[in-house]
Structure 1
């Protein structure tokens, strides 16, 4: 059995990759007027926020308390995330040209490359690469971490998380679901959404070294995340209650169990591959699905199901190529 080493958490890498694939499938169906059986896959974003806080805490908090300034930390995070995201945005610009009818697309492209939302229309905050919204909120959470959370005691971080959890609970009741922060109608809901999830991840991340790894990983990994993203819609719960159960119970459970589990060596390698695939896949799948749907609709109806599968496989292959490229490692910055 291979326990988690350093800042690498193999099972969480694997769960992150599975969640990214589920998000892609969640977005694919509506483009063709169909629905994949993953209507709650938007909850994967909450898992990503929690995971980011948990992983970055042991990796960067010691340096933030010693010699790494908050500004330098944010520059490093931006340099790590932006190159692959820029690929997705440029593909989105190509998709806008293909569809036509968007005469402001050069300005929208520039705004998206600068991570600035485009609020002049009804719909998503980012027109060219829809999933980009969560990257913007994550960078805000990174700023909160470096500027405030790192200075707080464990108890204060937990208190901050619980306060934002209460706000998040009210927002879920208000919107009727946890899907918020991504459109011009609910953009303000994203602040509490990311604050709760990320702060909880920070609090849990400070406890990783104090808790021993556990085995029998297959029993633990098989429950919380698949239940949340796959089986939750089939439970006899209203959407708001189901989303609340996921955000406040099931996803934190999946995060903590995944962080503590020891894996066999082969399973750890598979999870490492899924983890490397996850961010490129998340960053580029949106505009590629739009292009794929446009091209698929030009084919005879009988050929469209196979074409949809081919598009999904092509996206996975391109994401894999990006994961192996220098872009996935971000811009190299010299230490100042």
Structure 2
């Protein structure tokens, strides 16, 4: 059984990171302290103060039963282990701390067989990597001795780090002494590195999804992009009721009608009716284009046109005037491209 112990510190990012790590390492059970919120995927059991929890992911196959929820801890039988998750707040005085610790000890005594007791105890002891032992740490060590449990923490990596301060190790894991040799590969997960890796993965995923959406809009105007926009529009308030006359006036103003004119059979001699472009006008209009912008459907960037206007201005001038003389313009010049702007 793979067990993950995590102190969430009420962090939304840590909550997202929890699922990512559980999936990557195929975690069967997570022992949680200071959770961000109740998870809806899988089985979630939390204590009465919502500061300690046990989470069995939906993809886990371990069995469980007999959950117990108390003031500062929660316990359950998971596979053939009794697992207790607890959180002891640093604001408690030593008397309150002792009383809560006694409740946790009673729960461990009543457990049958193998026991894992883990959580954020907010205490110090050399046995789990701290430089010194305080009164809280001594009380926990005495409790572990009475229960026949040992500290499973290996190394001295900090499990909590406040900006600008030295890291501490408030999170510890205790296991039954006779089963200590069954605990393999106990290690800390570096939160900063895992958070950085997750952010990079999320960023890459967003970029890929955005590119796919843009390609879908170009290839299928009625595809996913259209459905997203229509979903947003449907969520708005319904239009006010209008009279038939009002609707006719609106449609007439937006879509005016005119008499149908016969189609021309020949192209008129526009050279006599329309002035041709001058070289100065061609260069000035080309230089007015904004650089570093996405090209249109013709896929010609503004920088290319500006370079041509600088080195071969007559080339553009002849092309523009030929379009006017013949009354013909490229189809790409008559198209528009719908671009969705990402707000991420």
Q: TM-score, normalised by structure 2?
A: 0.23
Find the structure with the greater CA-based Rg: 2
Compare the two structures and name the one with the higher helix fraction.
Answer: 1
Q: Which has the higher contact order (CA 8 A, sep 6+)?
A: 1
